[in-house]
Copies of this chain bind each other. A is one copy, B any other.
Amino acid sequence: MVLEPISSNCSFGGWHRQYGHHSSVLNCAMRFALYLPPGASAEAPVPVLYWLSGLTCSDENFMQKAGAQRVAAELGIAIVAPDTSPRGEGVADDPEGAYDLGLGAGFYINATEPPWSRHYRMYDYLLEELPALVEAEFPVTGQRAISGHSMGGHGALVIGLRNPERYRSISAFSPICNPVNCPWGRKAFSAYLGENQQAWRAYDACELLAHFGHRPQPPILVDQGDADSFLVEQLKPDALTEAAREGKYPIRMRMQPGYDHSYYFIASFIEEHLRFHHSYLVT
Q: Which residues of A contact B (CB under 8 A)?
A: 9-13, 16, 64-65, 67, 69-70, 225, 227, 258-260, 262-265, 267-268, 271
Closest B residue, CB atoms, query A226: B10
Report whether A9 and B265 are in contact in the complex, using a CB–CB cutoff of 8 Å: yes
Report whether A64 and B263 are in contact in the complex, using a CB–CB cutoff of 8 Å: yes
Could you tell me the distance between the alpha carbons of A64 and B266 in the complex, rounded to whole angstroms?
A: 11
Question: Can you list 10 A-B contacts with CB-CB less than 8 angstroms, sorted by A residue number?
Answer: A9-B260, A9-B264, A10-B225, A10-B258, A10-B259, A64-B64, A64-B65, A65-B65, A70-B268, A70-B271
Chain B residues with CB under 8 Å of A69's CB are 264, 267-268
Closest Cβ of chain B to A62, distance in Å, is: 12
Report whether B67 and A16 are in contact in the complex, using a CB–CB cutoff of 8 Å: no
Contact (A262, B9) CB under 8 Å given A70-B267, A267-B70: yes
Closest Cβ of chain B to A24, distance in Å, is: 31
Most-contacted residue by chain B among A10, A11, A16, A263 (CB, 10 A): A10
Most-contacted residue by chain B among A65, A67, A262 (CB, 10 A): A67
Closest Cβ of chain B to A51, distance in Å, is: 16
Chain B residues with CB under 8 Å of A65's CB are 64-65
Chain B residues with CB under 8 Å of A64's CB are 64-65, 263
- Kindly list the 7 A-B residue pairs having the minimum CB-CB distance in the complex, ordered from nearest: A67-B67, A9-B264, A10-B258, A11-B264, A10-B259, A12-B268, A9-B262
Closest Cβ of chain B to A256, distance in Å, is: 8
Chain B residues with CB under 8 Å of A70's CB are 67, 267-268, 271
Chain B residues with CB under 8 Å of A227's CB are 10
Could you tell me the distance between the alpha carbons of A87 and B271 in the complex, rounded to whole angstroms?
A: 37
Report whether A11 and B268 are in contact in the complex, using a CB–CB cutoff of 8 Å: yes
Closest B residue, CB atoms, query A65: B64
Q: A10-B225, A10-B258 known; 17 other A-B pairs, CB under 8 Å? A: A9-B260, A9-B262, A9-B265, A10-B227, A10-B259, A10-B265, A11-B267, A11-B268, A12-B267, A16-B264, A64-B65, A64-B263, A67-B67, A69-B264, A69-B268, A70-B267, A70-B271
Chain B residues with CB under 8 Å of A264's CB are 9-11, 16, 69
Chain B residues with CB under 8 Å of A271's CB are 70
Closest Cβ of chain B to A266, distance in Å, is: 10
Closest Cβ of chain B to A204, distance in Å, is: 29
Closest B residue, CB atoms, query A63: B264
Could you tell me the distance between the alpha carbons of A262 and B7 in the complex, rounded to whole angstroms?
A: 11
Chain B residues with CB under 8 Å of A67's CB are 67, 70, 267
Could you tell me the distance between the alpha carbons of A20 and B102 in the complex, rounded to whole angstroms?
A: 35
Chain B residues with CB under 8 Å of A262's CB are 9
